[in-house]
Amino acid sequence: MALIRAVKDKHPKFGKNCFFAENATVVGEVEMGDNCSVWFNAVVRGDVHYIKIGNNVNIQDGAVIHCTYQKSPVNIGNNVSIAHNAIVHGCTIKDNVLIGMGAIVMDDVVVESNSIIAAGAVVSQGTIVETGSIYAGIPAKKIKSIDTELLEGQINRISKSYTMYASWHDSSIEPLK
């Protein structure tokens, strides 16, 4: 069973149809919408500031979502995928966004809607990622604009796939001995 617990009387709150892997961790002031998933070894740590997550958000294996004490909370919109081993820290991610595998998004960054942060990118503190763009590199810079094919083929496909994957898991089943 996932580790879900309060910190300083602030309890995580979840919408309908959310999936939490057995070793996922969600603590503190976390508010999550409907049809979200937090996968294996992912950590959503709202102990030093709040984390607000919209609907249809997947936080994949090994990802970390955290804040800066009393300064930078995390706000994540709808239809967002946070890929494997990404770090999302003290920032705002709007709707229809893909944060690639191993990417790091730092404090006070704003990732506007319909955008992709490429795998391995490091988005420096305070960067504004413009709507409809792909940012890559270290430090991350705009490399191109998103077309309809990328929006549907990557951002929307991955988000829908993770809703489906979550439905395959039945937390009531005991492991084989």
Structure tokens belonging to residue 37 = 């998933």
Instruction: Please state, in angstroms and rounded to a whole number, the distance separating the CA atoms of residues 56 and 40.
Output: 17
The whole-number pLDDT of residue 177 equals 52
Residue 53's CB is within 10 A of a number of other CB atoms, namely 28
In this structure, the strands spanning 115-117 and 128-129 are unpaired
Full residue range of the structural domain in which residue 39 is found: 3-167
Residue 3's CB is within 10 A of a number of other CB atoms, namely 12
Q: State pLDDT tens for residues 96-106.
A: 999 999 999 99
Whether the pLDDT of residue 170 is over 90: the answer is no
Q: State pLDDT tens for residues 48-71.
A: 999 999 999 999 999 999 999 999
Query: What is the count of structural domains for the chain?
Result: 1
Instruction: Please state, in angstroms and rounded to a whole number, the distance separating the CA atoms of residues 174 and 87.
Output: 31
Instruction: Please state, in angstroms and rounded to a whole number, the distance separating the CA atoms of residues 106 and 6.
Output: 25
Quick check: is 63 in a domain? yes
pTM confidence score: 0.94
Read off the CATH number of the domain in which 102 is found.
2.160.10.10
Q: State pLDDT tens for residues 104-137.
A: 999 999 999 999 999 999 999 999 999 999 999 9
